[in-house]
Every structure is written in C-alpha cells, then in structure tokens.
Amino acid sequence: FYALGAYISAILIEHAGMNYALTLPISGIICFAFGFLFGLPALRLSGIYLALATFALATAMPQFLKLGALEYWTGGVQGLVVTKPDAPFGLPVSQDVWLYYFTLVISIAIYVASINLLRSRSGRAMMAIRDNEIAASAMGINISLYKTLAFGVSAGITGVAGGLGAIAVQFVAPDSYTIQLAIALFLGMVVGGVGWLPGSIVGAAFIVFVPN
C-alpha cells in the first residue's frame, strides 16, 4: 500500500501534471479502497496466517510494478523521477525545508484524525474486537465490517505516507518497495508498541535513526 500510494502520486504528478498536494488524498482514497477489498478475503485468516498474507502481498508488489503492460505509467524497472515542488506563495525557504514542514503538518493531521477515530464509535468497536473478538460479537458488533474497515483505514494512511515519500525522495522504483521495507515498518510498530498511538512516533524514530 505504501508502494501503491507512492506510484499513484508519482503518476499523477508526472503524467497528469497534477499539483503534488492534491495527489495525496487521491492516493489515500484509492489505497483505502484496495485495503478494504484486500480485507474481505483476509477475514478468513487470523494470527500469523494473516501476517503472512500481507507479507506475501509485499513480496509480490515489486514484480507487479515491473509488468510490461504498466511500463508506460510506472517506468518499469527504471522507475519514475518525481519533480520536487517549490515552496508556494514565493516563501523564502528551500524545497527541502518546505517539504519538511508540509510533511509535518500532514503527519500531525493524520495523528489527530487517528485519535478522533479511536474515540469514536467505530474506534471503540475496533478496540473491543482487538481485546476480545467473541465478546465483541456477542455485544452486536459487526466483526467483518470493522475488520475490513481497519484494513481500509490502515491502507489509506499508508497510501498518503507513500505519496509523501515519493515527493520527498523524488523517485519511485519497484526495488524501493521490497519485503525489507515491510519488515522494517513492522519492526517499528512492534518496538513502538502495538495499540499505542505515541508508539508510532517511537517506532518511526527507531527505524530511521538506528540504522544510521
């Protein structure tokens, strides 16, 4: 989903000439739809098998992006170069500084939205399923709906992150989105603490700073 979001933004910027900021919600919406659809068959799986299914998707993605039929859009093995945006309104800051603050604002907005989601009825239902699926079902919560919704929301946020990554790095290629990246993101989540929102910041810091 990170790769999908990155490629959607890159294609819209380079092939459609769309403003980089407008590509992010589009990446999020498309990835939400794909995540929701992927969540439907994934409902048959649980535990380690569900994790393996998502890793299988991560393993297949680079090869899918190299398909000849998609080469015009994706650039095939060579990938796509993304034009780095200038600061708007003639602001006297460099491209990198502008992208830093732009990314920071998007990140804070997603973090606040996540807090509000967890405090909503849907968020409480998701936490109930996480804590005890049988008890949640007995209380009348639609397990299938909220599981697929969780997949969709996760994929949507990841798609926005992928789009931001493509804009910041200025390049997308199939080999940039390997199983190693998926494992690194998974490790960051575990180190930060599953089910604890500030843990996402701790986990991100871990996978960025520890290798350096």
CA–CA gap between residue 97 and residue 94 (Å, rounded): 5
- Per-residue pLDDT tens over the stretch 83-129: 888 888 888 889 899 999 999 999 999 999 999 999 999 999 999 98
Q: Which residues pair with 171 in a beta bridge?
A: 81
- H or E segment at 40? helix 20-42
User: What 3-state DSSP class applies to 193?
Assistant: coil
- H or E segment at 171? strand 171-172
Whether the Cβ atoms of residue 197 and residue 39 lie closer than 8 Å to each other:
no
Would you state the pLDDT for residue 209? 92
pTM exceeding 0.85: yes
